[in-house]
Amino acid sequence: MFKRLNDSQMWGDFMAQKFNTTKRFGLEGVWSFIPGMKYAIDKLAELGAETFVFGMPHRGRMNTLANVVRKPKI
């Protein structure tokens, strides 16, 4: 879990540096969302779910996709 939290922090720092003039919505203040979402997805898989759909506001959406769902970052 620490690795995922660390990865999400590094992703946010990278985005802030790469796109420093663009408005971004990072995970600042909602870091507990990553372990909570990972737990929920793992529990769903354990209970036999094959698919899931979740909606979320813009804040941290790319970070969540990269560090929880493990979508490619490129």
Sketch the domain layout of the chain as residue ranges.
Answer: 2-67
Q: What is the dihedral of CA 26, 27, 29, 31, to 10 degrees?
A: -170
What pTM was computed for the model? 0.58
Model pLDDT for residues 29-45, shown as the tens digit of each residue: 666 777 888 888 899 99
In the chain, DSSP finds a helix count (H) and a strand count (E) of: 3, 0
Structure-token pair, residue 44: 């769903």
- 60 has pLDDT over 80: no
